[in-house]
Structures are given as structure tokens and as C-alpha cells.
Amino acid sequence: MTTPTTPKELTLRGIVLGALLTIVFTAANVYLGLKVGLTFATSIPAAVISMAVLKAFKDSTIQENNIVQTVASSAGTLSAIVFVLPGLVMIGWWTGFPYWESVAVIAIGGILGVMYSVPLRRALVTGSDLPFPEGVAAAEVLKVGAGVGGAEENARGLKAVIFGTVIAALYPLLAKAKLVVDAWDKTFRVGQGASFASLTFSFSLLGVGHLVGLAVGMAMLAGIVLSFGFILPHLTAAGLPLGDGMSDFVHGIFRNQVRLIGAGAIGIAAIYTLLKVIGPIVRGIMGALAADKARKAAGNMNALELTERDLPIGIVGGAILLLLVPIALLLARLGAGGPVEHMLGLSLLASVIYIVIAGVVVASVTGYMAGLIGASNSPVSGVGILSVLGISLILLALFGRGLSPDDTKALVAFALFVTAIIFGVATIANDNLQDLKTGQLVGATPWRQQVALILGVIFGALVIPPILTMLNDAFGFQGAPGAGDRALGAPQAALISTIAKGVLGGDLDWSLIGFGALVGVAAIVADEVMKRTGKGSLPPLAVGMGMYLPLDSTAFVVVGAVLGHFYNRWAAKQADPAFAERMGVLTATGLIVGDGLFNVAYSVVVSATDNPDALAVFGANPWAVPMGTVLFAALTVWAYARMRSDASRPLKAV
């Protein structure tokens, strides 16, 4: 029987609803990931839909809605596996996606990510002050929907979320109708070279910026200035074509060279971050062991504090060890008939050890990045680059160069397969800690949420391969044998495949990664100096993100961080500072919600019609750029003016 102290949480109806949302969100994310190289976070849209559906049941709870968003978000995030797996088709190793083999690699990587996240929850969620912007935003949505807080505060908070949602959904709707522009890109000369500015008019990026704060925004701005103001103009100075070819040339240099520099900076910043969090991780593991001992002594997990009720650490460790067996079997099957078969034992041992160690590293780093800037904006593909570099170097050490083209292709395929498993760990850890932060804020039971995460991984693993097969049959992938004019770009998969071929073929430019590593070291030094002199901080990972990600993914995060900073300074001077700041958080949350919900709906329309212009009712508009710029700025000003107006009216005394 359910009591007030044991609310409904991990229910059959919640799991079923989460599974249904998984199918929709995963299909949409796989398509967008292959088409444009971007995916969207599904936590908040899933929470909104869950609240609308489960409201029909009188006994639904905030914790049950949290389980629904947890299931759907873990599966939606796992769709980022399309940043690696299509590479096996691109290099001609696979002609399609063998179902059970694909399911296995996706599920194993995802479940490993969940297991690694258990001790990380203690280190990064309950034991740190990371902002976790999307986790906080999802919790705010759930709280408002559940009526947490006073009646008046809840009503005004709900209006703030709805207002932000409408604004954030209105602009992309007008953009897809072709009345205004949704993105803007301009290439221009800088000295002897060139650079480009690109913007995506996204209110979700603005909302994320508001939530992450000024330090992260300024660090990203530093990375942007380095990449687009100095490095890109320098690299494009030699051989810069004029006229129509300049834009393609500059964008190509950014994708193939500047992003490698950014990956080097992220790599060094990741090592620095790991060293910083290794103490909390060890304490998290020790805390998990202590909680497991207390559970056994009491004979009941309910005897523990709610925040201590993780999956038992023995189950976590056993699951990790057990999963190494199918990993070895999958790798042995992939290596059959190639050079790996001739050194099978050593190759499998080295690869499995690498997966275990790299899994810990990438789970820690991507979890930290998610806490720093949010799962949607975390450069997980940069972690994929570093992962494929590592396994490629291991294979190079084992087999050397000078192999036949077929043997080299076999090693590239092997490297991509190992990377796919590690990438599954990275994407799930990147998302799971956001979900666990949401759970912490709404009073969820950690072990129930971790079970929901595993279920979400399984649902996603079952759904993704047939979607990939369908898209491969309908479109194919650029660079794959026999790809046609309609082939999907799959840009991240293409880049990661190119790096594997570059390492094993001997033509990768290591100087770019080395230079990025030096930039990362400089960012670390600057961060430490600023902290010790009391002048703020410059998170090195955020600097690397600013260098690695295109401007259209970062520019409005910086703008939102600045706007949020000034708003919070104003809020601190109000009669009720906490309420004023929360109204800002709720409006920013609405901006993220609206953009996410629109992307879900739009992706479904595009997938159903196979027409990206299905909503284009106005035709070409020559004034789309200036109209879009003015409208986006006006809506932003309106959002913050409304935010201040709502927050300046004090709550009525009860």
C-alpha cells in the first residue's frame, strides 16, 4: 500500500509511457543526428508529456513523472551512437546494420555508462556545486507541474514556464515557415586568412546560458575568440580561394583542423578534470561500499537515507565484470579473418582493458561536462575523437604500419567498434547525471532511477538499429560505397572514421592535437591563477568546448550567460531575492522546453514526409535575415522584461 513516505515511483504505467516516448524521441534524434550532426535533449519534453498524460491518474506523483523522463531521456541520448556506428558503413566494412550485433554494442555501452554513473552520482551530483542546468530545469518543470510550493508562487511559476515555452516554440515555427531565418552564416576575410560567424537563433541555448552562469559563458567566449579570431584565420591564410569557394574552404579547415585543435584542448582539460574529481570519485566508491555494508547490517535498504539508496556496489561491480564477456566475444567475431585474429588473445586483452579504463575516464569527464554546461551542449563527439585516437594508437603499437589496404580497413573497423562501446558509456554518463540531479531535487530514490536508466538503454538499443537500417536503405551515407545524391552527411561519424584511418594509415597531423593540448595547459594555468587571486574562474573544459563546437552551438550560450548574470544581480536586490531568481530559472526553463517540444514535433513531421521544408508556407523571404534578427532580439528583450515584471511583484503573505 502506498503511503506519503513511499510515493508511487517505478510503476508499470510509467515504464510503458517512457518506452513509447523513447520510440518517438529516438527516431527523431537519429534522423537529426545523421542529417545535421545535432541531437536534442529529451528530458524536459518527456517530463512535460508525462505530466500531461499521468495527470489523468489521481495517484500520479512527481517521482513517477521523473521516472518517465529518465527512461525517455536515456534512450534519446543514446541515439548519439549515430556519431560513430555509421562509420562502419562509410568505410565499407558493413553494408547495413546487423540487428543483434548493433543492439549488443549499443546496450553494453549504455549499461556500462549507467554502472559507472552510480559512484559518480555521489562525486558529481551530491558532492559538488556543478550547476547541472538541464537537470535543474527538468526538476523545476516537474515541481511546477506537481504544485510544489505555495499556490501563488506555483501559479506564477507555471505562467513563467508557459510564457518561455510559447516564445521558444514560436520563433522556430516562423523560421520553418520561411518567414524568418533560423540560422545565419557569413564567411569574411581576416588579414590574409578568413573566418566565419554562424548563429542558430535558438532560445534553448539562451536558456542554457542563463542557467550555467557567467564563468562558463566567459570561458566559452575565450575558446570562441581563440578558434575563430586567431587560429582559423591563420590556418586559412595559405591557399585561401576567393569567390564562391572561400566559404567551403574555410568551413572545411574548421571541421578538419581547428576541431582537432579543440579536441586536443578538451583532452588535456579532461585529464585535469579527472584529476580534480578523482578524490570525490574515490570517496563516492567508499561511500557506496559503506552504504552497502549498512544495508546488509539493517537487512533493508529503506533503513538508509534516501540519498544513499543506490544500486548496491556489489551489483555494479559484478555487472561491469560480466559485461566484459560479451564485449570480448563481439570483438573476437569482428576481428575474425583479419590481422586481429593472428594476435587474438593480446588484441582482446588490450581492447577490453582499454574499454574499462577509458570508460571510467569518459564517464567522469562527460558527467562533469554535463554538470558544467548541460547534456545537449556537451561536446561528446570530442570525447569520441579522443577515444578513437586511443584505441587506434594501441592497434598501431600492436600491428605497426605497412599493412595491406584490407588489413588496414579491418583495423579501422575494429577501432570504430571499440569506440562505439566507449561512446555509449560517454553518452549515457553525459545524460544520466543530469537525470540523477533532477531526481535529487524532486526526492527520487536513486536505485529506482538507475533501474529506469537501464530500461531506457535497453529500449533505445532495440529501437536504434532498425531506424539506422531504414535510413541507410532510403538515403545511405556520404562517403560510403554507392552513396547517392540524397545521402546523409553523418558528419561526426565521418570525422571519427577519418581519424582512425589517419592514425592507422600514418597521415594524421599530430601537431594540431599537440597545439590544442598546449592551449588546454594555458587554460588550466589561467583558471588556477584566477581562482587563487579571487578573480573568478575560467573552466578549462568550457574553453575547449568554445574552440571545438561551431559558433551556432555556443554563441547564444554566451549571450544567455551574460543576460542571466545581470538578471541575477538585479534579483539579488529585490525584496524576495530567492523568488526573483527562481522566476528567472523558470522562464529560462520554459525557453528550453519550447525549443525541445518544437524539435520533437518538427522531427516527426520531417521523418513522415521526408521533406525538411514541409512547414514552409511562405516561400523564400529576402528579408528573412534582418526580420529574424530583429524578432529574436525583440522576443529576448520581452522575455527578460516579463521576467523582471513578474519577479518584482512580491508574493502575498499567507
pLDDT-derived band at 291, boundaries 50, 70, 90: low
* CA 489 – CA 492 distance, rounded (Å): 9
Find the largest Cα–Cα distance for the chain.
79
Contact yes or no for 530/215 (Cβ under 8 A): no
Q: DSSP label at 446? A: H
What's the rounded mean pLDDT across residues 450-472?
A: 83
Q: What is the mean pLDDT of residues 50-66?
A: 76
Q: Do the beta carbons of residue 631 and residue 557 sit within 8 Å?
A: no
Lookup result for grid cell 536534442? 40
Single out the residue of 131, 171, 2, 129 nearest to residue 602, CA to CA: 171
Q: Per-residue pLDDT averaged across 400-424, rounded?
A: 82
Per-domain residue ranges of the chain: 12-648
3-state SS class at 178:
coil
What is the Cα–Cα distance from 265 to 542, expressed in whole angstroms? 10
Please give the Cα distance from 142 to 614 (Å, whole number). 33
Spell out the residues 6+ positions from residue 355 whose beta carbon is closer than 8 angstroms to its own: 112, 324, 327, 418, 421, 422
The pLDDT confidence band at residue 635, using thresholds 50, 70 and 90, is very high
- Tell me the torsion sign for CA atoms 226, 227, 233, 235: positive
pLDDT tier at 446, thresholds 50, 70, 90 = confident
pLDDT-based confidence at residue 110 (cuts at 50, 70, 90)? confident
* pLDDT at residue 119, rounded to an integer: 77
User: Which amino acid does the sequence have at 357?
Assistant: I
Does 431 have pLDDT greater than 70? yes
Residue 25: CA count within 13 A, CB half-sphere: 34
- Inform me whether the pLDDT recorded for 514 exceeds 60: yes
Q: How confident is the model at residue 490 (pLDDT cuts 50, 70, 90)?
A: low
Contact call for residues 547 and 261 (beta carbons, < 8 A): yes
Query: Please, how many CA atoms are within 13 Å of residue 289, restricted to the half-sphere of its CB?
Result: 7
Residue 153 has pLDDT above 60, yes or no: yes
Q: CA quadruple 135, 141, 144, 148: dihedral positive or negative?
A: negative
Write down the pTM of the prediction: 0.69
Stretch 172-197: mean pLDDT: 85
Residue type, 314: G
Q: Please, what's the b/e burial string for 115-129 (b: 16 or more CB within 10 A of its CB; e: otherwise)?
A: bbbbbbbbbbbbbbe
Give pLDDT, residue 224: 92
pLDDT band at residue 483 using 50, 70 and 90 as cut-offs: low
- Examine the pLDDT at 41 and tell me if it is beyond 70: no
Q: What's the pLDDT at 518? A: 92
| CA dist., res. 44 & res. 597, Å (int) | 8
The per-residue pLDDT for 29 is: 67
- Are 280 and 128 in contact by the 8 Å Cβ rule? The answer is yes
Tell whether the model's pLDDT for residue 547 goes beyond 80.
yes
How far is it, in rounded angstroms, from Cα 158 to Cα 152?
Answer: 10
Cα separation of 636 and 411, whole Å? 50
Among the residue ranges 30-39, 63-72, 120-129, 191-200, the one predicted with the least confidence is: 30-39
Record the cell numbers describing residue 248, joined without a space.
567551403
Cβ distance 189 to 543 under 8 Å? no
Confidence of residue 96 (pLDDT cuts 50, 70, 90): confident
Specify the residue for cell string 536558456: 207
Higher-scoring residue by pLDDT: 326, 125: 326
549-567: average pLDDT: 85
pLDDT tier for residue 379 given thresholds of 50, 70 and 90: low
Q: How far from 436 is each of 67, 126, 375, 430, CA to CA, in Å?
A: 10, 9, 12, 11
Q: Give the list of residues 6+ apart from residue 34 with CB closer than 8 angstroms, or none.
A: 82, 86, 471, 477, 488, 489, 490
pLDDT at 517 over 80: yes
What pLDDT shows up at residue 395? 86
Q: Are 418 and 354 in contact (CB under 8 A)?
A: yes
What pLDDT, on a 0 to 100 scale, did the predictor assign at position 562?
92
pLDDT above 90 coverage of the chain, percent: 4
Indicate the range of 139-153, 333-347, 518-532, 539-553 predicted with least confidence: 139-153
pLDDT grade for 4, boundaries at 50, 70 and 90 = very low
CA-to-CA separations, 382 to 192, 418, 567, in angstroms, rounded:
29, 16, 32
Residue 73's pLDDT band (boundaries 50, 70, 90)? confident
Please, which pLDDT band fits residue 225 given cuts at 50, 70 and 90? Answer: very high
Q: Indicate if the alpha-carbon torsion angle 234, 238, 243, 247 is positive or negative.
A: negative
For residue 373, pLDDT over 70 is answered with: no
Give the mean model confidence (pLDDT) for residues 348-362.
86
230 vs 549, more confident: 230
pLDDT band for position 1 (cuts 50, 70, 90): very low
Mean pLDDT in residue range 491-511: 75
Q: What integer best gives the mean pLDDT of the chain? A: 78
**Least confident window among 117-131, 198-212, 639-653:** 117-131
Backbone φ/ψ region at 597: left (φ over 0), alpha (ψ -120 to 50), beta = alpha
Band the pLDDT of 142: cuts 50, 70, 90: confident
* 351 has pLDDT over 80: yes
Contact (CB, 8 A) for 593 and 245: no
The values of phi and psi at residue 477, to 5°, are: -125, 140
322 Cβ partners below 8 Å, 6+ apart? none
User: What are the backbone dihedrals phi and psi of residue 404, each rounded to the nearest 5 degrees, phi first?
Assistant: -70, 160
Task: Look at residues 63, 58, 76, 64 and name the one whose alpha carbon lies nearest to residue 16.
Answer: 64
Q: What percentage of the chain carries pLDDT values higher than 70?
A: 80
Phi/psi of residue 610, nearest 5 degrees: 55, 40
Displacement of CA 605 from its chain's centroid (Å): 23
Highest averaged pLDDT of the listed ranges 213-217, 337-341, 347-351, 425-429: 347-351
Spell out a b/e string for 545-565, using b for 16 or more CB atoms within 10 Å of the CB, else e: bbbbbbbbbbbbbbbbbebbb
- Judged against a pLDDT cut of 80, whether residue 283 lies above it is answered with no
Please return the burial class of 249, using the count of CB atoms within 10 Å of its CB with bins 0-12, 13-18 and 19+: middle
- The distance of Cα 597 from the centroid of its chain, to the nearest Å, equals 17
Strand partners, 3: 6
Task: Name the H helices within 475-576.
Answer: 491-505, 510-532, 540-548, 551-571
